[in-house]
Structure 1
Amino acid sequence: KGATVNCSLKVTATGGTITAITGTISVNEYLENASNISKSGLNIQSGLSDTIPFTITAKEAAGKGTVTVTPTAGTATETSIITAENETECTASSGIWNATSSTCTVTNTNAVPTFSPNVVSKDVAVLDNVAGISAITIDGKADSTCTKGTTGRTCQLVKNAETITIDVKASNNGTATTIGKKTLKCGSNTISTEVKAQDGTGKYTYTFTVNRTCNEDVTLKDIKVSAGTLTPTFSATTKEYTVEVTSEINKITITGEKNNSTQTITGNVTDRVLKYGDNEFSLVVTSEKGTKETYKVKVTRKDTRETLNTLSAIELSAGKLKFDKETTEYAVKVLHEVETIEVKATPESTKATIEIVNNNLKLVDGENKAILIKVKSENELEKTYKIVVTRLLEGETLGDNPNLSNIAVSNYNLGFTTTKDTYSLKIDKEKALTITATAEDPTTTFVITGNENLKNGSVIKITSTSQDGTVKTYVINIEKSSIMMFIIIGAVVVLLAIVVIVVLIIRNKKDKDFIETDKVKSKIKEEDLMARVQNQIGTIDSIPENPETEPISIAPQAYNAPSEPITEEMPAPAPQSEETKVCSICGHRVAASAQTCPYCKRSF
C-alpha cells in the first residue's frame, strides 16, 4: 500500500515519424494516478519504437489493480528518400545524407500521416506488506491456545511425547517457513518459524516453546546372554546376576534391552573373550533425565585345566641339592674351579611349561644372581623355584659329610648311634621337645621339622646338609602314653579308697569304747581322709584326654554290706594310762611305742 509503480507506454510508428503524443490514464479502485500522458519532441521513425514513462500509486492492499492508457492525439511527419549523387546535392535538397547507403532522406512537413492509436490495459498486483498467522495445526489438530493474527509472537506448549508436528499458515497471502515434525528432548524445546508478508517487507519470528517431562526410568526390560543362563531369572529390580558356562565357551555377548527409547546403555559387549574363572561385566543405564543405574553380570567360565605346577626333578651341572617338590628355595655351593652352572628341570605334568631365568650363569666369586625356575600349570598358575649359587674362593674346599655325631633330647634317652638314622621315642605330655643336634663336620647345617603339636604317631625330621649339598635325614617317631592307662589307674584308686572307707567305718562301729572316748578326733581324721581321697580323684580328673581316644565313663559301684557280721578280732585299744599317739591315716589312738598301727597296718 502506498508504493509507487513505474510504468512505461511503448509507442511504435507504423509509418512516418511520430513527434508527439497525448493520452489519458485510467485506473481501478486499487490504484491512483495524478496526471495523463503528454509527450512531445519525439522522433519515432517508421518501424521503430520508443517508450514513454509514467507512474501510478498503489491505493489498497492485496488487490489486482488495472491501468489503462488511451491515446488521444499524435503528431507525425512523413519522410521520403530521394536520389542524390552526393552529400552536397542531398544538403541542397534539405535532406539528410547517409554515407553508408549513399541515400538522402528528405522530410515532408506538409504531409501528416494517419493517426490510429490502440488502447492498452495492464493488470498490476498490489501486494500486502503486513505479516500474520491465520492458523496453527499441532499433530494434525487445529490449535486453539496459541495467539495468532499479526500480533502473536510466542506460544507455550506442554508435550510428553518424543516428537511434535507443527504447521503454520500465514495470513494475507504471506508465507511461513515449514516446521513439520520435530524430535523433542526432555525439558524445554524452542521451535521457530519466520512469518513474512506477501510483499516480503513485513516479517517476524514466531517461537513455540515446548516443554516435555524428562523420563527418569533407569530399569532394563531384559538382559540377553549368548551362552549360559542368568541366575536369578531377570527382574528389573534385581541388579546382580551370575552366569556359568563350560570351559569350551570362550566368548560371550551380553545385551541390555531398553525399557524405553529415551534411555542410553553402556557396557553391552559382543563376542567378548572370556578368561577362565570369573569375568565381571557392568551395564550402566542412563535415563533421559540423567539418573543412572548399574546391572552387574558375573560370568564364570569353568576351568577344567590342570593345576599341577610343581617339578619332579632338578639337575645341576655342578653342586648338589636335596630336591623336594614342595621346597622352592635352595642354596648351592660350588668350588672355585666351577665357572658356569647349568640347570635342568622336569615338571611333574607334561602340560606345564618351564622358564629358567639366569640359566648357564657365568659365576663370580661369592653369591651369584638367583637362578629362577618358573613353572606354569596348564591353568596358568605359576610357582617359582629359586637356586642361589655361591662360588667359593680359590683354595676353599667344600665339606661333604652330612652325618650327625649326636642327637640329644632333653629328659629322654634317644639311644643315638651313628649307624642308625630312624628312632622311636615314648614321651609324656609334651607338645614339643628340646632337641640338640651335633654334626661331625662343623660346616654341616641342619633343620628340624615336625617338632610341634606332638601326638601319638608324630614324626620329627632332622635334615642335615653338608657344604657340597649332600643331604641326610634322621627320623624320630613319637609314641605318647595312652590316656586309657591313666583312666584305669584312677578308677582303681577310687574303688580302693571307697573300700578302705567302708572297712574303717565298720571297724569304728565295733570299737564303741574307743569311738566314745575319741569321737571328735576320729571324726576329724575321717574328714581328712575323705579330703585326701577327693583330692586324688580331682588329680585323676585333671588328666588330659587323648584326642585320639574316646573318653571312658566309670559308673560308681554300689556297696553291698556283708550278710554276716565281720568276726575279725580287732586289737584292744591301748590303756588310757599309757602314753599314746594318733594314727594320721585311720585316726585311731595307739600306744606311743607301737611301730605299726594295729588297725590300718601303717608303719610309723
Structure 2
Amino acid sequence: AIVAAGATGIVSVTTPSGTGTKTGFTFRSSVADLSAVSASSGTFDPVFSPSAINYIIPIANNITAVTVTPTTANAQATVKVNNVTVVSGEASGAISLANGNNNVLITVTAEDGITVKTYTLNFQKALSSINDLSALAISSGSLSTTFDAAVTAYTVGVNNNINNFRITPTVLDPNSTVKVNGTAVTSGNQSAAIPLAVGSNPIVVSVTAQNGTSIKNYTVTVTRAASGTASLANLTISNGTLNQPFEHATTNYTTSVSNATAALTLTPTVSDANSTVTINNVAATSGVASSPIALAIGSNTITVKVTAEDNTTIENYTITVTRLKADQTISFAALGAKTYGDADFSLTATGGASTNSLTYISSNLAVATVTGETVTIVGAGSTTITAEQAGNASFNAATNVTQNLTVNKATASIALGNVAQLFDGNARSVTATTTPSSYSCNTYQCKL
C-alpha cells in the first residue's frame, strides 16, 4: 500500500530477534523535484521538465546578472541556489554573470532529508561584440578632429623631421584586442615606431571584439611633409682651389685655373638625399663628378642649383672660375752693326699666337728711327731697339725683347776733279766732292 507523506500508523518490523510492531511513525516524502523554474533573462533549452536536470540558457552580453525562481514539487522540500537557501517560488539573489558559461546549481532536498536532486542551469552569456576604442593618442601632430569612437577616419600632418610615428590605442571593452598595422598592441600602450615616408602614410588601428568576429578599423593617415632642405654638404672641383673651404651656408666662391685648363668638373654632394641638383641647368648626381664644363678664357660663372624635396625651396651656389690668358713670346735675333750711311733695313722679329703686329721703339732717335719694321740710320752711335706685342682677350701681352744696334762712323773722303789743265797763265778751278756730302771742303788756287 502507498502511504501518504505525513501519515501515522503501526508498522510491522522484522529484526534478527523476531517480528514485532512499532507505532507512532510519521511518513516523510522523498520527492526532490522542481515543479517549475524560471530565470529573469533567457529562454531554457530544453523547455523545463521536472525530470530533466540540465539546461542551457543563452544570455545577451549586456546582461550582467540574473535571478532564478525555483518552485519545489513538494512543499516540504527545501531548495538552494548556488548553495544559498531560497524560498520555493521566490527569486534568488542576483547572480553575476561572466562572459561565456555560467553554471547555476539548484539543489532540491526532499522532505525525507535524504533524497537530493540537482538541476544545472548553464547561462551562456554571449561574448562581447564591442569593438570600439575609448581613446586614441598619437606621438606627433594633432588629429584632424577630436577623437570620437564613432569616427573611424582621421588625418595628421607632421613636419619632415618626423620620420616615425607611434599610436596609443585604448579599447572600450577590456576583453577586446587591438592591432596597429597588423601588430598586436596592449590597450593603453604605445605601438612600436612606424616609419614614415614623405607624403601619405595610412595607419590602421584594428579592434577585434571578444567574440572574435566583430572587427572595427580606425584609420589614421599621417602626411609627412617633404623636406625643405636645399643645401650642399660638400662641393669639390677637379682643377684649381676654391678661395675658401666649402661651407654649406656660403654660396659664392671663386677660383682661377691655368690657360691650359679648357674644362673642369664639379662634384656636388647634397645634404638631403631626397633633394636634386643641377649644374648650369644640367641634371647632376650627388657625390658624382659632373660632365666636363668648358671654360672660356676669362671669367666663367658656374651655377649649382639645389632643389629641396618639396620642389619649392631652392638654393643656388655659384663658382666664378677665371681661366687665365695664354702667354706669348717674341723671337728677336741680335742686330748686326751698321755703318753710318748704310741703307734702311727691316727688322725680322716674330711674335706670339695672338697674331697682333709687333711694334718697335728706338731708344736713341739720333742714331736710328723705326717706322713699322723699317730702320733708318740717322747717325753713328748706339740705340736699343725694343720689340713689343700687345695681348688680346686670349693672350697676355708678350714680354718685351730688346736688341742693341751699333752704327759705326763712315770713312770721309774728298775726290778732286778738273785737275788736268793746260797752263795758259790763267787761274784754273778744280772740284772737290766729299763723302759724306755734308762735309765741307776748302778749295785752293795754285799758280806756277
TM-score range relative to shorter protein: 0.3 to 0.5
- Structure with greater contact order relative to length (CA < 8 Å, sep ≥ 6): 2
Normalising by structure 2, what TM-score? 0.35
